[in-house]
Structure 1
Amino acid sequence: MGVFFVSVISRDLFLYLSNNKTLNRAAQNWGSNIASGKIVGGIDFPSSIKFIKELNEQGFSVTVDHLGEFVTSEEIARERTKECIQTIETIVAQRLDSHVSLKLTSLGLDISKELVFENMRKIMDIAEKYKIMVTIDMEDETRCEETLSIFKGLKADYTYISTVIQAYLYRAEQDIRNLNSYEPFLRLVKGAYKESPTVAFPKKADVDENYKKLIKSRLLNGHYTGVATHDDAIIEYTKRLVEEYKIPKHSFEFQMLYGMRTQTQKELVNQGYKMRVYVPYGIDWYGYFMRRLAERPANLAFVLKGMTKK
């Protein structure tokens, strides 16, 4: 019955729920009790450190992300910038094996491109100093071109910066070709926003095939890649590629979300693969959580199992 329940929950329903402001406000009120240590690290970065250390001790690398996006206040965007810098400094001070992920809308993308560059350069100056990778998360398709433009502008001056390509977008393959000259570290994902069929593959099977194509092109060109997926078929496809083409395991990594598929994560580490766990933190966890379920509704079963553990 549980499998049937998961299978009938539509992607559109989760995306609808992700935008429900009433549920989002309610989740902020009780999120620290329900989500912390289960699907998010904590309500802030200091409260997440113990979970990150536990993951590191088990052989996992981490990337952390302060949840929250669509900032419309310049003051808040600058506050987020300071918080990100403090996070990088804490990662170094605590000797954590962790990268940092961020969304440009949290730094003022919807306010002005100049503000984003100003804030990103402040962050990247510190990240470059301490050699901490900063990944620019990809948001919806309407912000894709501007995000990649900003990434290219920063990549010209900084080494420790990466970004994300979403396989459900028709443009993904060409975007990777356009980025190849930068020799970038890219995270490959399927994509989790509701997009028009004019810009994105509407069928899962087509998304999966495009995702495989992107993985193969990246692994064969030798540029470091994060294969971010919970899909067993994609994981096995990647393993077969590695074996067939003798691809070094140090040239890529698997990435998964905190609190989901933990046993699979452990198995991959035991098999000698690098596994990076995405650990978000903050009170704005609800929208993130719903989009992850929309991306793969089967994750609900794994989340419920993890959240009910004592």
Structure 2
Amino acid sequence: MEAISKNFFLYLSNNKVLDRLAKRFGTNFGADKIVGGETISQAMPIIQKLNHEGLHVTVDHLGEFVASEEEARQRTEECMHSIQAIATHGAQSEVSLKLTSLGLDISRDIVIEHMHRILQEAAKYDITVTIDMEDSSRCGQTLDIYKELKAQYPNLGTVVQSYLYRSDQDLDELSPLDPYLRLVKGAYKESGKVAFPEKRLVDDNLKHLIKKNLLNGHYTAIASHDDAIIDFTKQLVQENNIPNDRFEFQMLYGMRNETQAQLAKEGYKVRVYLPYGEDWYGYFMRRLAERPANIAFALRGIFSK
């Protein structure tokens, strides 16, 4: 039943008709519980509140698969606007972005041009930018672009997904760059030809990647709501005397708030992934696909306004 539910919501995440309806009706249907509004101005009070609670943030202007160069330029301007807003308010926040939102499916040259603009703006304020990972068909392109840009922009991170077979080798190839990596399980529907088909194998690989990256001495963001993964990381860093400034836990806005607060209270760095924007629909559906508990969470959001 869980597999059926996951496939159902992943299928819905790609439905263009429902996406258009979602933009029309805004962040209703519980999405406002996990999305920080439609603009950076709406998201900023949430960022400041989270900072006040001892939590760091990364903001993501939602949107992917742009259809024109003009739309890609608009998304680039929005990323730069987010960076400027973070700096103006002195917020403890990074920025996350998807390369498809900057025109990856249109032209690699366009993406590189847009990334240079964003990264130059971020460098002015010493703000880290993380390139989010998308589906497996774009993984190689994303990592190639990351490798090209990382030498020039130290404050650049990216994401490795443990459900992909290739991820262990990707860590080896990234290691010489001293990468800042967010390690996640992965949230896209993938073929068994490229991804582990069982949750147990995905979890085991995530633990392997966490251990490998930390023991290699690279900064590691452990992005998981899974208590087993969190406890594994705690034990690993304790046994290997890894200082707290070499890693952080990351969780989604609106998910496991008590755990976030407890980890921060224990002295761990916790970063909250806060998406905002009109294109929230695909993101929301993927979150529902990840965990059945998220469906109940969303339903509570609808009827508790």
**TM-score band, normalised by shorter chain:** over 0.9
- 2:45 alignment counterpart: 50
Structure 2 equivalent of residue 3 of structure 1 = none
The CA distance in 2 between the partners of 1:125 and 1:204, in whole Å, is: 39
Q: CA deviation at 1:293?
A: 2.2
Alignment of 1:24-39 (within 5 A): 24-35=19-30, 37-39=32-34
| Residues 56 and 97, structure 1, Cα contact 8 Å, conserved in 2 | yes
- Measure, in 2, the Cα distance between the counterparts of 1:147 and 1:94: 31
1:11 partnered with 2:6: yes
User: Equivalent residue of 1:32, what SS?
Assistant: coil
Q: Which residue of 2 aligns with 1:212?
A: 207
Specify the code of the residue in structure 2 equivalent to 1:18: S
1:35, distance to aligned residue in structure 2 (A): 4.8
8 Å CA contact retained: 2:28, 2:302: no
The letter for the 2-side match of 1:132 is I
- 1:151 CA drift (Å): 0.5
Q: How many residues are matched? A: 305
1:96 to partner: Cα distance: 0.6
- Residue number among 193, 199, 204 corresponding to 1:198 in the alignment: 193
Question: Among the aligned pairs, what percent are the same residue?
Answer: 60
Q: Deviations over 1:261-308 (max 9, x none)?
A: 111111111111111000000111111011122223333344445665
1:131-150 paired onto structure 2 within 5 Å:
131-150=126-145
CA deviation profile, 1:91-133 (whole Å, cap 9, x unmatched): 0001110000000000010011110000000111111121100
1:29 Cα deviation after fit: 2.5
Contact 1:7/1:298, CA 8 A, preserved across alignment: no
CA contact (8 A) 1:259 1:303 kept: no
Unaligned runs of 5+ in 1: 1-5
Give unpaired runs (5+ residues) of structure 2.
Answer: none
What does residue 223 of structure 1 align with?
218
Answer with 243-252 or 41-50: which moved more. 243-252
CA 300–241 in structure 1, closer or farther in 2 if over 3 Å, else same: farther
Q: CA RMSD in A?
A: 1.6
- Paired residue for 1:256? 251
Distance 1:305 1:53 in 2: 25
2:129 equivalent to 1:121: no
TM-score by length of 2: 0.95
Cα 1:213–1:307 shift into 2, 3 Å? farther
State the SS of the aligned residue for 1:62. strand
After superposition, give the CA deviation of every residue in 1:215-266 in whole Å (9 maximum; x if it has no partner). Answer: 1111212211110001111111111112222221111000000011111111
Stretch of structure 1 that moved more, 157-166 or 17-26? 17-26
Question: Helix, strand or coil for the counterpart of 2:95?
Answer: strand
Is the 8 Å Cα contact of residues 259 and 306 (structure 1) preserved in structure 2?
A: no
Q: Is the 8 A contact 1:155 1:161 kept in 2?
A: yes
The one-letter amino acid paired with 1:154 is L
Q: 1:72 aligns with which of 29, 48, 67?
A: 67
